[in-house]
Amino acid sequence: MRKPCCDKQDTNKGAWSKQEDQKLIDYIQKHGEGNWRLLPKGAGLLRCGKSCRLRWMNYLRPDLKRGNFGEDEEDLIIKLHALLGNRWSLIAGRLPGRTDNEVKNYWNSHLSKKLKSKGIHHPHKPDRPRQRSIDHQPVRSHDTRVNTSQILPDLNLNLSLSNPVEERLDQLQ
């Protein structure tokens, strides 16, 4: 069993102060992201490593995109949700600067309601019967995929990495 990441009685669990945010930012800028269990002590924070990681990933990272979602982002979330279901980290991975938590919250508070008001429903259960595992116990399915061949003919999910600068140079030559 893994030992606890922090001594809970010496840990601050409240809202983050500007000073704490700055200590975390300074530490990560100097040392990079790394062992989150050791980071709080090294940064001089009375926080749990998990709390530091979540604060950095969801609020303080310099590449995070702030503000409202654009129409193009909404369209992509809707298409990817139809294809992938509630796999928020995969969906957020296609939206630069957006976190999985932010995308999930936006889906639940705005997009699912917007689709329902237009009469579009994304099922929470698959249309096919549940599969059985080898030991004949039901496999719990959280798969929310729907048949997308008719509603998403233009979706291209090329997930390869490329260098856009090199691609542009190739196009110009």
The span from the CA of 131 to the CA of 50, in Å, is 36
Flag whether pLDDT at 137 surpasses 70: no
Check residue 168 and give its pLDDT.
59
3-state secondary structure of 74: helix
Q: How confident is the model at residue 73 (pLDDT cuts 50, 70, 90)?
A: very high
Domains of the chain (ranges, CATH numbers): 8-60 (1.10.10.60), 71-117 (1.10.10.60)
3-state secondary structure of 119: coil
Check residue 129 and give its pLDDT.
44
Flag whether pLDDT at 162 surpasses 70: no
Flag whether pLDDT at 109 surpasses 50: yes
Which residue would you say has higher pLDDT here, 145 or 112? 112
Distances (CA, A) of 156 to 29, 50, 76, 107, 130: 36, 35, 11, 21, 29
The span from the CA of 48 to the CA of 72, in Å, is 37
Q: How confident is the model at residue 95 (pLDDT cuts 50, 70, 90)?
A: very high
